[in-house]
């Protein structure tokens, strides 16, 4: 703590009274945060010289201490300024103003200079400490998010730390991962907007919003399908329309309880985005549960490759095999509705019908036949997974 050097020209009783009054003005901030500022200030006025560098460093340390104790900067500065003006009338030059009026002017300049220097040092120490605390908090938050999403820490420890971030992992939670046109970062305005939308006005919802590897991640409670759809709808509204110039896509994992449920849901959400890109799914929201059939197909790569080659290899004999595959995929996706397929592909119904007839003549399988449709549909899904025919057998 700073010291005033010689004995203060203001009595200790008055110093204590002034300190208590300043603390009351500041809302009850501890007088200990004044150190011996009042004594040093009184001595500086009498001596007619500014505070020393050592004293300034001590006041900067007081600012650091106050920040780490959670004292508001406004209250801290109010403590010092209130104590300073209360001390003014007790300064010897003020008490003897009638005998030496000019000394009051000099004393005022010295005192204001000293107060200005002390407050500046306190504010600097406070702000430096706050930056350090914010960095530490951000680092702890990033570490928690990493452990939560990847399962890289002790389960009990993750559950304990989760409470500090407003997460009660005893219930089922799901994870949504957003892939945007540009990478997301923790400082991006969209993260704050997503938090407001997902957490609600009171900010007491059991959810977590963060960025990871350039993607937006939202961990949210999912007790039922309706609750999940509400969160996803809010998220989509914040992101805006998913059009060519602002394209985004959300991968959603299946909900699960506990920290293990979050890890599993996060991995599924990431895999859903990767699979959607691979099979060229354009839906803005892709649920992992809807892609389970692809995972089943991938488990026996040799079998699906054999199926694709056996059923679809005749398409290689003609130009436009990829267009025929796209038509089949859209046709099956529409439930066998040629008109809807035409709208999806921006073709005429006649063109769609021609392509389906072409597939029938080449493969001997009828896309409209219930018996043949299943085999063709599975083969088309497999072709997309294998990037067939561009990379046959891949």
What does the block give as tokens for 140? Answer: 């702890």
d(CA 306, CA 46): 98
CA 146 to chain CA centroid, Å, is 12
Residue 277 CB contacts under 8 Å (≥ 6 apart), including other chains: none
Q: What's the whole-number mean pLDDT along residues 355-363? A: 91
Candidates 3.40.50.300, 1.10.3720.10, 3.40.50.2300, 1.10.10.2840; CATH matching 300-386: 1.10.10.2840
Phi and psi of 241, rounded to 5°?
-65, 135
Omega into 389 within 30° of 0, i.e. cis?
yes
337, 328 Cβ separation under 8 angstroms: no
pLDDT at 329: 87
The whole-number average pLDDT for the span 136-161 is 83
Report d(CA 328, CA 383) in Å as an integer: 11
pLDDT attached to residue 246? 62
Domain ranges of the chain: 12-131, 159-290, 300-386
Residues 6+ apart with CB under 8 A from 238: 190, 193, 194, 197
- 3-state SS, one letter per residue, for 233-259: HHHHHHHCCCCHHHCCEEEECCCEEHH
Region of 364 please: left (phi>0), alpha (psi -120 to 50) or beta: left
Residue 370, class by beta-carbon neighbours within 10 Å (0-12 exposed, 13-18 middle, 19+ buried)? exposed
pTM to 2 decimal places:
0.60
Pairing of strands 208-212, 172-179: unpaired
- For the chain, what percent of residues have pLDDT higher than 70? 94
Task: Provide the CATH topology of domain 159-290.
Answer: Alpha-Beta Plaits (3.30.70)
> Using 50, 70 and 90 to split pLDDT, how confident is the model at 4?
very low
Average pLDDT taken over every residue of the chain: 85
Asked whether residue 7 carries a pLDDT value surpassing 60, the answer given is: no
Is the pLDDT assigned to residue 189 strictly greater than 60?
yes
The pLDDT score that the predictor gives to residue 3 is 41
* Most confident of the ranges 174-183, 276-285, 372-381: 174-183
């Amino acid at each position: 703590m700073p010291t005033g050097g010689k004995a203060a020209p203001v009595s200790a009783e008055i110093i204590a009274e002034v300190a208590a009054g300043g603390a009351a003005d500041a809302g009850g901030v501890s007088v200990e945060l004044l150190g011996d500022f009042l004594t040093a200030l009184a001595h500086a006025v009498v001596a007619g010289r500014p505070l020393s560098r050592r004293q300034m460093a001590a006041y900067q340390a007081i600012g650091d201490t106050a920040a780490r104790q959670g004292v508001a900067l406004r209250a801290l500065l109010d403590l010092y300024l209130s104590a300073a003006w209360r001390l003014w009338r007790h300064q010897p030059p003020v008490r003897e103003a009638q005998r030496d009026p000019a000394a009051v002017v000099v004393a005022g300049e010295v005192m204001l200079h000293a107060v200005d220097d002390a407050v500046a040092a306190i504010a600097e120490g406070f702000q430096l400490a706050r930056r350090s605390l914010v960095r530490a908090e951000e680092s702890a938050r990033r570490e928690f998010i990493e452990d939560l999403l990847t399962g890289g820490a002790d389960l009990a420890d993750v559950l304990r730390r989760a409470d500090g971030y407003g997460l009660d992992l005893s219930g089922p939670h799901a994870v949504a991962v957003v892939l945007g046109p540009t990478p997301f970062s923790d400082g991006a305005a969209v993260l704050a907007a997503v938090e407001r939308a997902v957490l609600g006005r009171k900010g007491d919802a059991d959810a977590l919003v963060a960025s990871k590897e350039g993607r937006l991640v939202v961990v949210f409670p999912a007790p039922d399908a309706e609750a999940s759809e509400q969160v996803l709808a809010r998220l989509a509204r914040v992101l805006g329309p998913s059009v060519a110039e602002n394209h985004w896509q959300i991968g959603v994992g299946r909900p699960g309880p506990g920290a293990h449920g979050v890890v599993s849901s996060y991995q599924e959400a990431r895999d859903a985005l990767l699979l959607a890109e691979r099979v060229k799914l354009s839906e803005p929201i892709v649920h992992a549960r809807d892609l389970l059939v692809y995972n089943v197909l991938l488990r026996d790569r040799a079998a699906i490759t054999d199926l694709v080659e056996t059923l679809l290899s005749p398409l290689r004999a003609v130009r436009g095999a990829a267009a025929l595959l796209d038509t089949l995929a859209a046709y099956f996706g529409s439930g066998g509705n040629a008109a809807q397929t035409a709208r999806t592909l921006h073709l005429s119904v006649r063109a769609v019908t021609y392509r389906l007839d072409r597939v029938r003549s080449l493969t001997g399988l009828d896309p409209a036949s219930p018996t043949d449709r299943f085999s063709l549909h599975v083969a088309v899904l497999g072709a997309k997974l294998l990037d067939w025919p561009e990379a046959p057998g891949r």
